[in-house]
């Protein structure tokens, strides 16, 4: 039988251990991130870890898939989306710290073709050539939604002919759930052309794919928002992560990967990141 003073000592030890555990800094942040940000955020995450000794566990996937996971109860501290639609859906479900939501970078689309352009695609008109194999994202993933908008713009331009949109859509052989799958199929030669982000043409991929620019008059400017989940156990550390992404150091990494800077820090909700942090 345990003596009373031994039992009391055990209780004190358990309480002290629990208190120490509560006081510990997090060992890991969970960050749900659009797949197109894989390279840039991987690098920013490493900088964050070097500065704070806190690891970053990334979940890279299509923004719509990340949204669904969050809505179904998956835990995340920070969510970075490739469009406002998916972020607003999570926000409207009451799951976001609304004052933390901010547009942090921009992107646009380009066509990508296998190295050497075997299908000899010279311009946007060639997308309507019979038998061409096109791969895009699904309509629910931002890169797919943007691609369909671009095809719609082209179809509404009389210069491309009345059947242009119908012919292009008929050439789509696959719709992928995130942009990385689109890029992979093109790089492997499984498609003649794909719609991807400019930022997806990384140094590693330049030996496997070529880029064909889409004129700005037809292109879509993708705005990327980020924000902190209400259920985050580590809001202070999540703010530090956002501050890094929004810092000159973070923006330099994003620009290195082909993302465009955001002018005047436009936001979905009121205030900039620092102002929202002060008000939170």
Task: Give the CATH number of the domain where residue 234 resides.
Answer: 3.40.190.10
Q: Which of 186, 213, 240 is the last residue of a domain?
A: 213
pLDDT at 135 over 90: yes
- Do 240 and 188 belong to one domain? no
Cβ within 8 Å of residue 265, ≥6 positions away: 102, 103, 246, 272, 273
Residue 104: predicted pLDDT = 97
pLDDT at 6 over 70: no
Confirm whether 5 is domain-assigned.
Answer: no
Residue 145: predicted pLDDT = 95
What residues make up the domain containing 183?
A: 107-213
Confirm whether 198 is domain-assigned.
Answer: yes
143, 198 Cβ separation under 8 angstroms: no
- Do 148 and 117 belong to one domain? yes
- Do 100 and 115 belong to one domain? no
pLDDT tens-digit series, residues 89-105? 999 999 999 999 999 99
Confirm whether 121 is domain-assigned.
Answer: yes
pLDDT at 279 over 50: no
Residue 237: predicted pLDDT = 97
Confirm whether 156 is domain-assigned.
Answer: yes
Q: Which of 183, 213, 243 is the last residue of a domain?
A: 213
- Do 190 and 124 belong to one domain? yes
- Do 171 and 79 belong to one domain? no
Confirm whether 10 is domain-assigned.
Answer: no
H or E element that contains 213: strand 209-213
Q: Which of 7-16, 82-91, 120-129, 164-173 has the lowest mean pLDDT?
A: 7-16
Q: What is the dihedral of CA 234, 236, 238, 239, to 10 degrees?
A: 160
pLDDT tens-digit series, residues 35-70? 999 999 999 999 999 999 999 999 999 999 999 999
- Do 101 and 227 belong to one domain? yes
Q: pLDDT averaged over the chain?
A: 88
CA distance 271 to 277: 9
- Do 74 and 206 belong to one domain? no
How does residue 15 score in pLDDT terms, banded at 50, 70 and 90? very low
**The total number of structural domains that make up the chain:** 2
pLDDT at 71 over 90: yes
- Do 98 and 55 belong to one domain? yes
pLDDT at 264 over 80: no
Q: Are β-strands 28-34 and 193-197 bridged in parallel, bridged antiparallel, or unpaired?
A: unpaired
Residue 205: predicted pLDDT = 81
- Do 28 and 167 belong to one domain? no
Residue 24: predicted pLDDT = 56
Residue 270: predicted pLDDT = 39
pTM over 0.85: no
pLDDT at 3 over 80: no
- Do 191 and 232 belong to one domain? no
pLDDT tens-digit series, residues 175-217? 999 999 999 999 999 999 999 999 988 878 888 999 999 999 9
H or E element that contains 132: none
Confirm whether 66 is domain-assigned.
Answer: yes
Confirm whether 37 is domain-assigned.
Answer: yes
- Do 230 and 179 belong to one domain? no
Confirm whether 185 is domain-assigned.
Answer: yes
- Do 115 and 198 belong to one domain? yes
pLDDT at 247 over 70: yes
């Amino acid at each position: 039988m345990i003596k009373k003073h031994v039992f009391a000592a055990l209780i004190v030890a358990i309480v002290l251990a629990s208190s120490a555990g509560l006081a510990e800094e997090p060992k890991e942040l969970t960050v749900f991130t659009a797949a197109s940000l894989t390279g840039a955020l991987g690098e920013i995450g490493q900088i964050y870890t070097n500065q704070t000794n806190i690891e970053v566990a990334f979940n890279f996937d299509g923004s719509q898939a990340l949204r669904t996971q969050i809505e179904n109860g998956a835990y995340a501290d920070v969510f970075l989306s490739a469009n406002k639609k998916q972020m607003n859906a999570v926000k409207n479900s009451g799951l976001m710290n609304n004052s933390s939501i901010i547009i942090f970078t921009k992107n646009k689309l380009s066509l990508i073709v296998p190295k050497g352009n075997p299908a000899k695609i010279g311009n946007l008109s060639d997308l309507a050539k019979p038998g061409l194999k096109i791969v895009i994202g699904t309509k629910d993933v931002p890169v797919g939604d943007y691609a369909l908008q671009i095809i719609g713009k082209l179809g509404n331009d009389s210069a491309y002919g009345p059947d242009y949109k119908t012919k292009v859509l008929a050439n789509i052989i696959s719709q992928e759930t995130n942009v990385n799958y689109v890029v992979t199929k093109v790089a492997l030669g499984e498609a003649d052309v794909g719609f991807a982000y400019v930022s997806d043409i990384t140094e590693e991929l330049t030996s496997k794919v070529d880029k064909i620019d889409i004129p700005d008059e037809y292109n879509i400017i993708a705005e990327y928002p980020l924000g902190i989940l209400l259920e985050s156990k580590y809001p202070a550390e999540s703010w530090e992560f956002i501050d890094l992404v929004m810092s000159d150091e973070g923006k330099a990494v994003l620009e290195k990967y082909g993302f465009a800077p955001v002018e005047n820090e436009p936001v979905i909700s009121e205030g900039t990141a620092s102002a929202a942090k002060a008000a939170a």
